[in-house]
């Protein structure tokens, strides 16, 4: 492609574009190297013949279903009225029957965890889908109000703060400051603060205050980082089949995040006349990530 660009266009026109394309190639190349390193850290499939996922199991997990927007009434960290720790066994008839990849029934506690995780992903999917659609609408130039789509990141931050750790304040029994001492809860709440910061950065870009500033590159760089994390992270191998089925969803969203991030990078970095195509690509990728989140399942 670079050879064709250099030979088919004048030097004055092609060089600014080529520099930006090389930036993107370097970024994607780093992603490929990190992904390859992650893959080589996993045991070969030939060494795990009993843990190979069949095509039928993949299709069963990936087939479209209605999103789950409700939560189990009892979470494992909540406190019952009697003061003891409540468990799913307190409401056995409230939970549906669910099975793992091998068709084996799951215990109630595992079902409750899966239901909560799926509901979290599905609500996030609605928000990310809305972000992508509003960004597309803003791109048409016919809805100036849609330029405020970064405010949805504040909604994501609130959702993470409230729902990521259901044992913590404001929905759980643990106090506000006690939750900050929990490493996992601390990470979630730090992520919520980061989402708010991203909303401020990108909104200022949308309002044309930082359009040509390097601060505008923070958002695509962080989206690219998120894509790399989705492509390279791996779960514990205690249940290889289940983890693989979950990671298949992560891989598709990771690829879309990589495309979205570098398309947005090109929109910001290319000469004005060459920005049209990438400016349409990244909102579509965001919308597709939202669709993927809406179809996320663990059981």
CA distances from 99 to 70, 108, 280 (A): 19, 11, 40
- Residue 39 pLDDT exceeds 90: no
Q: 13-27, 78-92, 186-200, 248-262: lowest mean pLDDT where?
A: 78-92
Burial of 40 (0-12, 13-18, 19+ CB in 10 A): exposed
For 239, left (φ over 0), alpha (ψ -120 to 50), or beta? beta
CA 71, chain centre distance (Å): 20
Mean pLDDT of the chain: 81
Q: Tell me if 67 is assigned to some domain.
A: yes
Count of the separate structural domains present in the chain: 1
Domain range for residue 112?
2-43+51-294
Alpha-carbon gap, residue 160 to 120, rounded angstroms: 9
Query: Nearest Cα to 288, choosing from 136, 154, 182?
Result: 136
Question: Is 299 contained in some domain?
Answer: no
Q: What is the pLDDT of residues 262-293, one digit of tens each?
A: 999 999 898 888 889 999 999 999 999 999 99
Supply the pLDDT for residue 76. 44
Give residue-wise pLDDT tens across range 190-246: 888 888 888 888 888 887 765 566 788 888 998 998 899 888 876 555 677 777 888
Asked whether residue 190 is domain-assigned, the answer is yes
Does residue 246 form part of some domain? yes
Is the pLDDT at 88 greater than 50? The verdict is no
Which residues neighbour 215 within 8 Å (Cβ) at sequence distance 6 or greater?
201, 204, 205
pTM score, whole prediction: 0.82
pLDDT confidence tier of residue 258, bands split at 50, 70 and 90: very high
Q: Is 173 helix (H, G, I), strand (E, B) or coil?
A: coil
Q: How far apart are CA 92 and CA 96, in angstroms?
A: 9
CA gap 43, 41 in Å, rounded: 7
End-to-end alpha carbon distance in the chain: 43
Does position 256 have pLDDT exceeding 70, yes or no? yes
Residue 12 lies in a domain: yes
In the prediction, which pLDDT does 1 show?
66
Distance of alpha carbon 184 from alpha carbon 294, whole angstroms: 24
3-state secondary structure at position 174: strand
> Distances in Å between the alpha carbon of 197 and those of 12, 147, 157, 204, 227?
38, 17, 10, 11, 19
A 10 A CB-CB count for 141 gives 9
Which of 122, 121, 111, 125 is closest to 73 using CA atoms?
111
pLDDT digits (tens, 9 = 90+) for 104-151: 778 888 788 888 888 889 999 999 999 999 999 999 888 888 989 999
At residue 12, the pLDDT reads 67
Whether 270 contacts 263, CB under 8 Å? no
CB 259 within 8 Å of CB 288: no
């Amino acid at each position: 492609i670079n050879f064709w660009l250099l030979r088919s266009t004048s030097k004055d026109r092609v060089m600014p574009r080529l520099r930006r394309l090389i930036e993107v190639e370097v970024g994607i190349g780093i992603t490929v190297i990190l992904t390859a390193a992650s893959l080589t850290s996993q045991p070969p499939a030939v060494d795990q013949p009993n843990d190979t996922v069949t095509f039928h199991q993949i299709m069963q997990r990936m087939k479209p279903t209605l999103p789950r927007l409700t939560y189990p009434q009892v979470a494992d960290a909540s406190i019952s009225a009697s003061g003891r720790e409540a468990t799913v066994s307190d409401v056995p008839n409230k939970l549906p029957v669910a099975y793992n990849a091998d068709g084996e029934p799951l215990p109630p506690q595992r079902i409750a965890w899966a239901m909560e995780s799926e509901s979290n992903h599905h609500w996030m999917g609605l928000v990310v889908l809305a972000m992508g659609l509003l960004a597309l609408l803003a791109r048409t130039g016919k809805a100036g109000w849609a330029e405020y789509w970064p405010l949805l990141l504040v909604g994501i931050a609130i959702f993470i703060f409230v729902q990521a750790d259901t044992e913590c304040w404001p929905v759980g029994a643990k106090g506000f400051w006690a939750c900050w001492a929990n490493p996992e809860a601390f990470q979630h709440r730090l992520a919520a603060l980061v989402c708010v910061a991203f909303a401020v950065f990108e909104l200022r870009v949308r309002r044309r205050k930082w359009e040509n500033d390097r601060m505008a590159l923070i958002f695509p760089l962080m989206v690219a980082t998120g894509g790399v994390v989705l492509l390279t992270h791996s779960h514990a191998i205690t249940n290889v089949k289940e983890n693989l089925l979950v990671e298949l969803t992560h891989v598709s969203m990771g690829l879309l995040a990589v495309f979205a991030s570098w398309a947005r990078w090109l929109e910001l970095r290319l000469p004005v006349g060459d920005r049209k195509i990438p400016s349409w690509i990244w909102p579509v990728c965001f919308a597709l990530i939202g669709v993927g989140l809406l179809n996320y399942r663990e059981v």
